[in-house]
Amino acid sequence: MKVYVKTPARLHMGLIDLKGNLGRIFGGLGVGIDRPNFIIEAEESDALNIEGKGAYTALVETIVRRFSATYKVPENVFIRVRRTIPEHVGLGSGTQLSLAIATALAKIFKLNTSVWELASAMGRG
């Protein structure tokens, strides 16, 4: 089975209440934007194979290995990163990539997991 996952980038805005009138000093609001985005293609394979944008290859491997260890599934998947969100510019690329890969793997291995569970398992959210 081949799975495609598309994720939006996200902007996070901090909301500050310096006086703490609401019982906290800091809060936040996130907004998803259509572009840039990740487009990930994944399917079972004979071995772990990653194709795509250079800097993301090591991170994709780390995500797959973490998912495999957490959910006790094989690492034998082919992941193609077709489109990327730029790194280190405040668009949530690490979180979005982690959740995209985890979502694809959950579908491939027919796991009934919520996005909240996947975020927690991947150390995000």
Neighbouring CB atoms inside 10 A of 76's CB total: 13
Domains contained in the chain, CATH given = 2-9+36-121 (3.30.230.10)
Pairing of strands 49-51, 77-83: parallel
Tens-place pLDDT, residues 84-109: 999 888 898 999 999 999 999 999 99
Question: Largest Cα–Cα distance of the chain, in whole Å?
Answer: 58
Span 51-77, pLDDT tens digits: 987 778 999 999 999 999 999 999 999
Give the pLDDT of residue 62.
95
Interacting residues of 124 by C-beta distance below 8 A, sequence separation 6+: 94, 95, 98, 99
Which of 79, 102, 90 is CA-nearest to residue 7?
102
Distance separating alpha carbons of residues 39 and 117, to the nearest angstrom: 21
